[in-house]
Structure 1
């Protein structure tokens, strides 16, 4: 049975892993929200500081999923984990910053130019983890659980044994990130549309 073995929700003010809050934003901090998470969780990947916000979000959520399910990397060959991400705004936030750098009379930095495609986040995660399986990034009007179900059937029937999927929507005004790991297990939270939608809407229990 295909089950969701770990998931992460990252929003504007809090991060949840498997439904439990692991970090909340400090409104008084001078650091960005993603930098706060990076430091609070004591992550160590200097390239994080050069990434655009979309890649930072993908990096953070995927690393937190790996912590919750540390056997992931050891359980599969480097081409057996597929990556399937989507969002509604593509790389619009980075594109906006890229345009602003021109309008301000300066020259855009190479680091901005590199991230003017949304699928770059897939490359960042794949290179870091040496996961060289199938990957794709779709631009959809909204989070659609059925998209992941349909695409996973194709991938899991053609050599992939696990799937890291997710919705990565990061703009100047909002953060809506939901990543999940799908594996073959005898028991667990079944990978279906109802469960995927429910987990994507997980909120903290105050």
Structure 2
């Protein structure tokens, strides 16, 4: 069997881990929403400030999952943790910035790097020294069966855990759902399409609250 052992939601106004809100956006702050979370959670990783929004969201939610389940990374070899990410718009947010910079001069090479959506997984791999399999897909919408099927392949081919994410950011719309799949999970949700849908949907019930019943 496979289990959902930790998960995080990141929306326009809230950030929650395992169904419990840990941060609420301060609209009067001069900091961006992601920077507010970074500061509130006392993360220290200077490269964060140079990342695009997809990579910042992936960094934050993956760190929060590690904090919620601190033993998981220590249980596995560095090539036994895979990553499976997807979204609807690829790197469109950074693509638009690149086009704007190109039209107004020479865009920086660092900006160009983030015109590939899978860079978020590279950032997480570098941070954690994970060398497992990785896949980033562009899908019309969040599809539980996609994660079920591909996690089955990854876990059957040598991976022991899979960090998954639906990572959609378009303008002011933020829909990030990151979750960890493991082969063992005491008192955790079984990794089924129904359970995954319920947990994913829990993050959309309210803009300012998370329903912790899931």
> Which TM-score bucket, shorter chain as reference?
over 0.9
Q: Which residue of 2 aligns with 1:18?
A: 18
Q: How many residues align?
A: 205
Q: Which residue of 2 aligns with 1:171?
A: 170
Q: Which consecutive unaligned segments of at least 5 residues does structure 2 have?
A: 204-209
TM-score by length of 1: 0.97
Q: Which residue of 1 aligns with 2:74?
A: 74
Equivalent residue runs for 1:140-155 within 5 Å:
140-155=139-154
Distance 2:133 2:102 in 1: 35
Distance 1:127 1:160 in 2: 18
Alignment of 1:156 onto 2:194: no
The residue matched to 2:202 in structure 1 has which SS? Answer: coil
Distance 1:6 1:110 in 2: 35
CA distance change for structure 1 residues 40 and 145 in 2, over 3 Å: closer, same or farther? same
Note the aligned Cα RMSD (angstroms).
Answer: 1.2
TM-score by length of 2: 0.93
Q: Which residue of 2 aligns with 1:63?
A: 63
Offset, 1:186: 5.5
Distance 1:65 1:186 in 2: 14
Offset, 1:102: 2.1
